[in-house]
Structure 1
């Protein structure tokens, strides 16, 4: 056994760059090729082209491979996995390559490309590496807006049309885990031509960036893990100024129960410790996008939340409900039934999403003032996110129960057990028992 531990210690020293015995290991052919791309003069353009080619190659595998878990040989058919691999190899490579990876990833994020926050395949948070990158945004104030909703409800599409982001869009499980994207705000007195990266014209005092957080689709058949879904929901509620709940059609009971439970968990974490977000509901892909025709259903959702006494945790009202038509329409080139089809974006959808974008930003501003310093800039936001993520890992009860009724039943059972123990073992008896046994050894007890 000693020889095994000695060998492990020797390997750890070889991999630790702070020791004299450190010898950089090779990250493999894929890592080396990726490093060469990062060295290129047009790095961002090369990565964008690579991402497009990888998506095309991935689509040829079929929707079942895209939605499910990819095999090892196909695992690198996405840019986010290549970045993930580079970040893993980062700790064990040369200083020159470390600097290159850091500099390239900063440029990648600053340009507005989506970056991975939580790895949905392994439920892992590369916060140490992200801390190095986001520390370069320390003086930048951010407004954090998250989106959650069922799989294939059009979350990524909605963010892309509202804020000009570049989140991946396709059928199936296209988003795995949680991703972020920084959109730089252009003030009225600024020239957007001199600004790099994704930009949005919005004159918001004291805000430099909007951080958009896109999440993996909830209630997916492939993942089929409601507890994982609840973790995603609670995480977004805890680290955002505003959360968009995007639904294809109406808000179903499963998602309503999930939101109610997670809002109650937010109370247990403590709204004085985390942000109190505003929640907006978007009823997407509605045949009738007239909001007035959905008043009855909206009022019922609001009543359900108020009955569960969660209004003080989730800021919800009729003003936070919106409807949108379908984004795309399939048409044929000609009247011939055999002619090919093309998909065009509906002008009404574009107009409504831009109007919704203004409402969302205006609403998020009111939450920004309440958040204090918990999510004021990217480094501080990351520290808060790490705390929330660790809390979810350490206290699974926060997301374990199916709905709030199960949790309250569990609370009543625990309370009843506590009362029985107090009656059976009074305080005087417990003190006497402790006094009698404190000087005894384990064997004597």
Structure 2
């Protein structure tokens, strides 16, 4: 590495470009070695550090004669492999060269990836040209560690979870160094204290190690032990281990700083002498452990906090056990140190260590912007400074979906809904001071300072939220434990309800406390949509709402992910997305993109897979860390563009299906809608499955397929690849042939079932979604080797990801992708189709939808029968009223001037009503159709056989009592029939 190349920094966006698969053979090319490792480290890939011997220069053949074999074998002067044929580049020299040749953002990203891989990180770095020492504080800013601290309180063990940026963590620090040369490996021994199955610190016995080092000597590395709250933990709290590479006598400046500030000093010496360094450490108050290579004695305490341990003829595990016990005992009595404070101390005039945080403008702008939120409770930041995206946006989204699914007086309801939506948009037009300040700085800062500004904004917002989130999580755990205890006790209902209400409120606060750059971009999008929907005129101002899509487009081109679908509201902001993509087209041209999306259950490793594949930084965590869908542009390298018909990969990351945070039917509707959208917009979808059983994803795919059939106008033609993660059996691909056959059969069956319902001609899954069960099913090894938080990534996982990436590119080579403008139209058309297609998303799968459809048809038939029966009752009522009225008229005519006995007349008519009553009673016990027939026959028969006497009736005017009797008797009967429930007709008691 020469000084000119050192000055020519490599940028993150250049290294992050998609390239052809990097084979291990490429590592042999020394000229491009730093390029390969930049790309590799960025993706947190397993690196084969050892360089193979060149096949072009094999060892010289000593003899072809069998008689001479023995002599040659025992000949000490036999020709060995020339030094020039061996690897002369130390792997960590290569790593340091990569870091020296990277700009601040790439360097930060690489160090963050190294931390995720559980490797040690550079803490003090000598400049290879000037010798000045730099402390790379900037590279630590995005590193977070999570651990569980165990302590004893009131005789019982209490476990407390902690999660924070590591540079703000208060931890003890153990500093290890050597004086002189040793045959034993210092770094290897330290590794046994942190993780005895992983080389946290690179040491001489690692593959690829060489005797000589150019850039790595003098570097102080740091790594952390993070306990999991288990009885098997080596330490009960987080501990930082620092390791000076090289002879401490040569690097006195690093030695002075670290020995002064460490909690425990561990020094390795070949033999114990009155060395000035050791003598000074003996006089200090800090604990000291001296490991002596030529002494065979065990651990021995020489005085208070001063220990001596022999290494000669002793096993690594024995020494490690003694060292572990001594450190644990001494750490309980020492003060803890915050890494940030240590670094600030290093930068003082006395120490003269250079910090790498050079951007004062970016930091000042971020500090000014976030100053207003520092005094506000973290759970109230969104409501105070980002008011457009929560209640207003969620309410608008609900109304927007409702207007597509109206019933009854459609036009009036739709008009009322649109008026309410307009009122909500008016309220969203107000821009908060936070957004004004944010957009002002985005417009005014240069490209580099803008990147610093965005990084610092996220860092400062995270710092403000970290303490509050830890407190809320701890309180949540305590209240939840109380709720579980109360459920086991009887007579505690009121107290239980109170605690459950408190738990629900804490859950709401926990959600509100999550605030980052994505929420600021979402707020900008809502303000923009509100102004556009109200047809507001843009103003000639730098921070005007009309400039928001342009700002977001510049960030998207620079490699920042942008929200495509809001998972909280379950809505795609079409106006904002259209404006954003239009601006990207203006800046790049209408480029062709290959849209790669991912789909899978919650916490199945979707974001981790994409990050490993393309070197991205999608959010990864347990639970619902991704909400909705995010898109990020990955540019193809120049050499790859010759082989493909598109220029960019548009990677779409999505939230997990079946999220525990969502409840009941909301989960099915949200998941089905999200899955249909994600699969629909993608040229290819990676269906991520944790384990070998795809049953949960099958349910969602059934709904996706049925939705595609119902949305013929969108013209979708996606493809998919099934990725089974966490499969430990190396023969899974071969052993699961029968499983693949059953999977294909199941997929085909659900397509045929959906096609029958929707009237489509599809016969197999591949008729709807391009899929080859022989090729498009992949198996991955588990991600971690061991149990987090100290587990390193599995190299096999990384290799599987790269093989999948190569397979994706091989399939994508025949695809023309879509233009950005086509993608914009596709998103809009698909989302509008989804809004109109509510029915199919409310079910777990096609079988549920089919069952509902059958029940709906049966219910419709029942309602039709009920209406028909009601109509028959009305017709019979009219007929009976007319018949009785006619009989009454005849009776009145016969009895004119003759009727005397009113009682006799009543008896005559009571016989008729008795027949009517007896007939109506049958409706309570049988089928309505049968009853109507019997009622008709009985009443007709009775009316025909009535014998009317003409005696004792004299006054025709007395006929009024007949009308009264008819109304009082017949009307209640008919009303009773109408009010009977439907089930009383169809099912007997």
Asked if residue 210 in structure 1 is aligned to residue 658 in structure 2, the reply is no
**Residue equivalent to 1:141:** 592
Asked if residue 281 in structure 1 is aligned to residue 718 in structure 2, the reply is no
Q: How many Å apart are 1:53 and its aligned residue?
A: 4.7
Asked if residue 48 in structure 1 is aligned to residue 455 in structure 2, the reply is yes
SS at match of 1:217: coil
Q: How many Å apart are 1:324 and its aligned residue?
A: 1.0
Greater RCO structure (CA 8 Å; 6+ sep)? 1
**Residue equivalent to 1:97:** 543
Residues in 2 aligned to 1:365 and 1:56: alpha-carbon distance in whole angstroms: 44
Unaligned runs of 5+ in 2: 1-415, 477-505, 532-537, 753-763, 868-989
Does the 8 A contact of 2:593 with 2:820 survive in 1?
yes
SS at match of 1:214: strand
Residues in 2 aligned to 1:327 and 1:40: alpha-carbon distance in whole angstroms: 40
SS at match of 1:96: coil
Does the 8 A contact of 1:185 with 1:203 survive in 2?
no
Which structure 2 residues correspond to residues 131-280 of structure 1 after superposition, within 5 A? 131-135=578-582, 136-137=584-585, 138-188=589-639, 201=640, 203-224=642-663, 225-270=667-712, 273-280=714-721
Which structure 2 residues correspond to residues 290-439 of structure 1 after superposition, within 5 A? 290=731, 291-308=733-750, 309=752, 310-311=764-765, 312-316=767-771, 317-330=773-786, 342-366=790-814, 368=815, 376-412=818-854
Q: How many Å apart are 1:411 and its aligned residue?
A: 4.5
Distance 1:418 1:156, change over 3 A: same
Deviations 1:338-372 (A, max 9, x none): xxx63433222222211101112322444x35xxx
Match of 2:576 among 113, 124, 129: 129
The range that moved more, 256-265 or 401-410, is 401-410
Q: TM-score scaled by structure 1?
A: 0.75
Q: How many Å apart are 1:150 and its aligned residue?
A: 0.7
**Residue equivalent to 1:31:** 435
Does the 8 A contact of 1:238 with 1:274 survive in 2?
no
The range that moved more, 410-419 or 97-106, is 410-419
Distance 1:53 1:218, change over 3 A: farther
Residues in 2 aligned to 1:298 and 1:59: alpha-carbon distance in whole angstroms: 46
Does the 8 A contact of 1:289 with 1:324 survive in 2?
no
Distance 1:53 1:142, change over 3 A: same
**Residue equivalent to 1:434:** none
Residues in 1 aligned to 2:783 and 2:463: alpha-carbon distance in whole angstroms: 22
Query: 4+ runs of 1 displaced by more than 4 Å?
Result: 55-60, 62-65, 67-73, 91-94, 410-423
**Residue equivalent to 2:521:** 83
Deviations 1:143-172 (A, max 9, x none): 111101011111011011112222111122
SS at match of 1:329: coil
Q: How many Å apart are 1:289 and its aligned residue?
A: 4.7
SS at match of 1:345: coil
Q: How many Å apart are 1:288 and its aligned residue?
A: 2.5
Unaligned runs of 5+ in 1: 17-23, 189-200, 333-340, 370-374, 426-445
The range that moved more, 342-351 or 253-262, is 342-351
Q: How many Å apart are 1:408 and its aligned residue?
A: 2.7
Distance 1:395 1:356, change over 3 A: same
Residues in 2 aligned to 1:155 and 1:115: alpha-carbon distance in whole angstroms: 17
Deviations 1:395-439 (A, max 9, x none): 21131222111323344566778999999x9xxxxxxxxxxxxxx
Residues in 2 aligned to 1:32 and 1:72: alpha-carbon distance in whole angstroms: 25
Distance 1:352 1:178, change over 3 A: same
Q: How many Å apart are 1:219 and its aligned residue?
A: 0.7
Residues in 1 aligned to 2:649 and 2:526: alpha-carbon distance in whole angstroms: 28
Residues in 2 aligned to 1:303 and 1:210: alpha-carbon distance in whole angstroms: 32
Does the 8 A contact of 1:145 with 1:364 survive in 2?
no
Does the 8 A contact of 2:608 with 2:620 survive in 1?
yes
Residues in 2 aligned to 1:168 and 1:222: alpha-carbon distance in whole angstroms: 17
SS at match of 1:162: helix
Match of 1:118 among 534, 540, 565: 565
How many pairs does the alignment contain? 381
SS at match of 2:790: strand
Residues in 2 aligned to 1:238 and 1:73: alpha-carbon distance in whole angstroms: 31
Residues in 2 aligned to 1:360 and 1:286: alpha-carbon distance in whole angstroms: 20
Distance 1:96 1:344, change over 3 A: same
Q: How well do the aligned residues superpose, as a CA RMSD in angstroms?
A: 3.5
Does the 8 A contact of 1:147 with 1:155 survive in 2?
yes
SS at match of 1:407: helix
Q: TM-score scaled by structure 2?
A: 0.36
Residues in 2 aligned to 1:269 and 1:292: alpha-carbon distance in whole angstroms: 37
SS at match of 2:830: helix
Residues in 2 aligned to 1:71 and 1:345: alpha-carbon distance in whole angstroms: 30
Residues in 1 aligned to 2:429 and 2:855: alpha-carbon distance in whole angstroms: 54
Distance 1:26 1:411, change over 3 A: closer
**Residue equivalent to 1:442:** none
Which structure 2 residues correspond to residues 8-19 of structure 1 after superposition, within 5 A? none
Does the 8 A contact of 2:689 with 2:697 survive in 1?
no
**Residue equivalent to 1:436:** none
Does the 8 A contact of 2:598 with 2:652 survive in 1?
yes
Residues in 1 aligned to 2:853 and 2:429: alpha-carbon distance in whole angstroms: 52
Residues in 2 aligned to 1:170 and 1:72: alpha-carbon distance in whole angstroms: 15
Residues in 1 aligned to 2:465 and 2:641: alpha-carbon distance in whole angstroms: 37
Residues in 1 aligned to 2:797 and 2:676: alpha-carbon distance in whole angstroms: 29
Task: State which structure, 1 or 2, has the greater radius of gyration over its C-alpha atoms.
Answer: 2
Q: How many Å apart are 1:43 and its aligned residue?
A: 1.2
Residues in 2 aligned to 1:155 and 1:173: alpha-carbon distance in whole angstroms: 12
Residues in 1 aligned to 2:526 and 2:426: alpha-carbon distance in whole angstroms: 12
Q: How many Å apart are 1:303 and its aligned residue?
A: 1.6
SS at match of 2:720: strand
